[in-house]
Amino acid sequence: MSRLPRLPAEILAIDWGSTPAKRQMCRAILRRGRYVLSRPRPVDDVAALDLGPGVLAAFDCPIGVSREYAAMAELGTFRAALAVFGRGRFERFYEAAECAADIATERPFYPARGVKGTGRDHLRSVLGDAAFAPRVCDRLAGAGPIFWLVGPCQVGRSAACIWRELITPRLANVALWPFDGPLAELLTAGRPVIAEMYPAFLLRALGLTVTRKSDPAARATCGRALLRKVGADARLDLAAVRTLLRGGFGGARSGEDPFDATIACIGLAKLLLDDAMPEPPAAARAVEGWILGLPVGAPID
């Protein structure tokens, strides 16, 4: 049994892709000491997500900025940064720069579209080292740069959407992990907690990997291995997702998004039940943030 003073009443694991079709959520509800999972479903409207007391909402996108960018932009904490992004000096922060001339410290996302003539040097010439400086957790997890918006590893569009549409309107009513304190303390306080997660790492934390999640057969192999690993844990009710896990979430490539949300939800529930959720280094609590389940100094291979 977990030694945490309070487990989240609900876990929402949300895989947040670049398009609405790629935004999937898996939910686990705590009932008599067991987490009962529901089938993953699309998230049609991020602003309409119900984040009630005792909810841990984990998003597959960066929540935080590098220390280099924070210093350049004169930002003290990430919570304070969210309060000014989109306002005043940072009014155009969330507007992706259309061309090199539009890039500024206060407008760092670039390019709006991947067209001929856009290049990383444009971003670097304005932001310097802050353009591609990784957070410590990004370096450990192998995550892509936040402000560069082109390529398969880009994460900036998701970050901008979550920061602007979900977190900022709720800023006074939610707790941000790890910025507002250790997870155990935030859960005890009862407010909804918003945090960052990475499905691939949560799967690895369970001792598993998937060779190629775009391949339905690979997802099915991984899903069956996951059921063998945790399916007998009486604290997890996986009845609603067993068939999906065994079948690889269907034969289409689009199955990778509900797959990610589901494995992340299972991984989060297991880490919480086992009281195995590590806390970040103190330096990450100001502006950089951390990834749920990521141990300090443990890179993903």
Reported as a single tens digit per residue, the pLDDT across 252-261 is 888 999 999 9
Distance set, CA 165 to CA 5, 16, 47, 102 (Å): 31, 13, 6, 23
Q: Is the pLDDT of residue 152 over 80?
A: no
| Beta-carbon count within 10 A of 116 CB | 5
Residue from 97, 112, 119, 109 nearest 160 by CA: 109
Residue from 213, 196, 192, 101 nearest 146 by CA: 196
By three-state DSSP, how is residue 16 classified? Answer: strand
Residues 6+ apart with CB under 8 A from 87: none
The rounded radius of gyration (Å) of the Cα atoms in the chain is 19
Least confident range of 13-27, 50-64, 153-167, 265-279: 13-27
Q: What percent of the chain has pLDDT over 90?
A: 81
Taking only the tens place, the pLDDT of each residue in 207-246 is 999 989 999 999 999 999 999 999 999 999 999 999 999 9
Q: Is the pLDDT of residue 300 over 50?
A: no
Residues 175 and 169: their CA atoms lie apart, in Å, by 13
Tokens 């924070």 sit on residue: 70
Alpha carbon of residue 159 to chain centroid:
9
Alpha carbon of residue 122 to chain centroid:
27
Q: What does the block give as tokens for 185?
A: 């303390």
Q: What does the block give as tokens for 225?
A: 């291995």
H or E, element range at 161? helix 156-161
CB 248 within 8 A of CB 219: yes
Query: What pLDDT band is residue 39 in, cutting at 50, 70 and 90?
Result: very high
Report which residue type is found at 184.
A
Taking only the tens place, the pLDDT of each residue in 119-135 is 899 999 999 999 999 99
Task: Work out the angle at residue 145's Cα, subtended by the Cα atoms of residues 142 and 148, and round it to the nearest 5 degrees.
Answer: 145
CB 173 within 8 A of CB 166: no
Report which residue type is found at 252.
A
Residues 191 and 261: their CA atoms lie apart, in Å, by 23
DSSP at 60: S
Q: Is the pLDDT of residue 301 over 50?
A: no
Average pLDDT, the chain: 92
What are the b/e assignments for 95-115, b being 16+ CB within 10 Å? ebbeebebbbbebbbbbbeee
- In this prediction the pTM is 0.94
